[in-house]
Amino acid sequence: MSVVGVIGAGVMGVGVAQNLAQTGHEVILVDTSEAILAEALATIRHNCRMSRLLGGPALDADAVLAKISVGVGADSVAKADVIIENVTENWDIKRAVYRELDAACGPDTVFIVNTSAIPITKVASVTSRPAQVIGVHFMNPVPAKPAVELIPGFHTSPETILRTKELLTAMGKKAIPVKDACGFISNRVLMLTVNEAAYLVYEGVADAEAVDEVFRSCFGHPMGPLQTADLIGVDTILYSVEVLYEHYSDSKYRPCPLLRQMTDAGLHGRKSGRGFYDYSTG
């Protein structure tokens, strides 16, 4: 199995690292501080213990964590065969991360961009290896989702596509090919839905519970759009909508002011304890 560097120990990075480790890969999980990494490992341990109760496989937390080492900074993944980047959907941050990774990693390392909206060709343009940059949009929670969007950039080589497909297969994922268009398939649709649902709350048409209940009861969705926003992260939703709005210059992607206010107030959803719903009591 290859050595995989996972950049970013937030919600998505934790899920990717766990998925890789439980399928036998050696993982190097990287973030900006030891405290963040310690919290990430504790989350993975908790998720492994809860897996069977939540309908997943029975997992040995110690065995999974034994596959994961941690480090601070890009130099920690200098010898990784593949990098999966999971930092926030902010272009300035991503650009800086890729410049650091490009300088630290060997010439054969593949960079997998886990993004929900940013075009892959744009990311590849700030590296010296555009042929080895490819997008994979993982869904949350990563270990439980059977499929991903696979997005080659303009310069992505057939070898990089093949290597990425092999890794995804080993992780138990079905790769659905998508062209490199901002937002791809899922978020061109999902972000519009969540953003418009937020507008319903913002305009006082209905509260979050009523909006979600329509989707659950009338359409049979297991979760409503605002529950989904809390799961993904309200801040992540905002950043993704902003990327779509900037890229397409289309007013249909105008971000709801409520999303901005909630992001500024720290109401980011499940990960912060409160979003459209309150999770502080568990």
Strand 68-72 and strand 82-85: the pairing is: unpaired
For the question of residue 19 being annotated catalytic, the response is no
Annotated active-site residue in 85, 89, 149, 242: 149
CA dist 260 and 254 (Å) reads 11
**What is the phi/psi pair of residue 112, to 5°?**
-100, 120
The verdict on domain 3-177 having CATH code 3.40.50.720 is yes
CA dist 124 and 141 (Å) reads 26
Q: Look at the domain 186-272 and name its fold.
A: N-(1-d-carboxylethyl)-l-norvaline Dehydrogenase; domain 2 (1.10.1040)
Annotated active-site residue in 47, 86, 187, 240: 187
**Sequence-ordered list of residues with C-beta below 8 angstroms from that of 203, at least 6 positions apart, any chain:** none
For the question of residue 187 being annotated catalytic, the response is yes
CA 245 distance to own-chain centroid:
19
| Alpha helical stretches, state H, 107-233 | 120-124, 158-170, 186-202, 208-213, 225-232
**Cβ atoms within 10 Å, residue 10:** 18
> pTM of the full predicted structure?
0.88
Assess contact for 104 and 78: CB atoms under 8 A. yes
Q: How many helices (H) and strands (E) does the chain have?
A: 11, 8
For the question of residue 114 being annotated catalytic, the response is no
CA dist 214 and 219 (Å) reads 7
Annotated active-site residue in 25, 76, 137, 140: 137
Annotated active-site residue in 76, 116, 195, 240: 116
Output the tens digit of pLDDT for each of the chain's 282 residues. 689 999 999 999 999 999 999 999 999 999 999 999 999 999 999 999 999 888 889 999 999 999 999 999 999 999 999 999 999 888 999 999 999 999 999 999 999 999 989 999 999 999 999 999 999 999 989 999 999 999 999 999 999 999 999 999 999 999 999 999 999 999 999 999 999 999 999 999 999 999 999 999 999 999 999 999 999 999 999 999 999 999 999 999 999 999 999 999 999 999 999 999 999 885
Q: Could you tell me if residue 70 is left (phi over 0), alpha (psi between -120 and 50 degrees) or otherwise beta?
A: beta
The helix-helix angle for 257-265 and 186-202 (nearest 10°) equals 90
Please measure the distance between the N-terminal and C-terminal CA atoms of the chain and give it in whole angstroms. Answer: 37
The domain limits of the chain are: 3-177, 186-272
**Cβ atoms within 10 Å, residue 157:** 17
Assess contact for 182 and 119: CB atoms under 8 A. yes
CA dist 219 and 225 (Å) reads 12
For the record, the structure tokens of 204 come out as: 């006082």
For the question of residue 155 being annotated catalytic, the response is no
